Chain A
Amino acid sequence: QVQLQQSGAELAKPGSSVKISCKASGYTFTSYYISWIKQTTGQGLEYIGYINTGSGGTNYNEKFKGKATLTVDKSSSTAFMQLSSLTPDDSAVYYCARGAMMVSPFAYWGQGTLVTVSS
């Protein structure tokens, strides 16, 4: 069955970077795009962008350009998202997700990774 297993919670200092992972299993990794979504109590669910796991091509929400960088390692069927120049506003749960056929809707979700930015 399709599974997306995300890396564990991160505690980071303002100004630093974190890189979270999303390991896929149960399907051909390069056949489906992986998207990333941010969830906070205040802003709700926000779409960050997606990566074409076959070509490495990306599409970002303008709001997250310069903040998030999406990459993949095809050899390990893992997608990554690096968040840079962290501020407290980046504190959130981040999900990776996959569509059933298209990028969206999101039929499969990772369990989420909590990122806390605090000095």
Chain B
Amino acid sequence: NIVLTQSPATLSVTPGESVSLSCRASQSISTSIHWYQQKSNESPRLLIKYASQSISGIPSRFSGSGSGTDFTLSINRVESEDFSIYYCQQSYSSLYTFGAGTKLELK
């Protein structure tokens, strides 16, 4: 199985700050990584696909980068609605796997 390791587990920030969330794969997965946001008691929402491709309807402050084993989700100037958990997911292998998540919380 491809293991995805997200860091940090928790990130405490104030609104207006810009942040970077990391996802590292246990083997090279090209750009087959996707990012989701999950708010409390809601279903996950797709934010970024294939490492850096934007999704219609997602605010432009969300962006993704990386290839191979190291990937980053960046949020430019965090807003109050962004405090939630972020997951990465790989589709390089047909045994899709998710990272454990990074919780973005209010400092």
Interface residues of A (CB under 8 A from B): 35, 44-47, 59, 61-62, 95, 102-107, 109-112
Contacts and interface: CB of A to CB of B under 8 A. Distances in A.
Interface residues of B, number: 20
A1 B42 CA distance: 18
Main secondary structure on chain B at its contact with chain A?
Answer: loop
Contacts of B99: 44
Nearest to A60: B95
Given A105-B46, A105-B49, A110-B43, A45 B87 contact: yes
A105 B87 CA distance: 12
B91 A105 contact: yes
Contacts of A35: 96
Interface of B: 34, 36, 43-46, 49-50, 55, 87, 89, 91, 94-101
Contact of B43 (A46, A61, A95, A102): A95
A105 B95 contact: no
A62 B1 CA distance: 11
Nearest to B33: A105
A29 to B, nearest CB: 19
Nearest to A59: B94
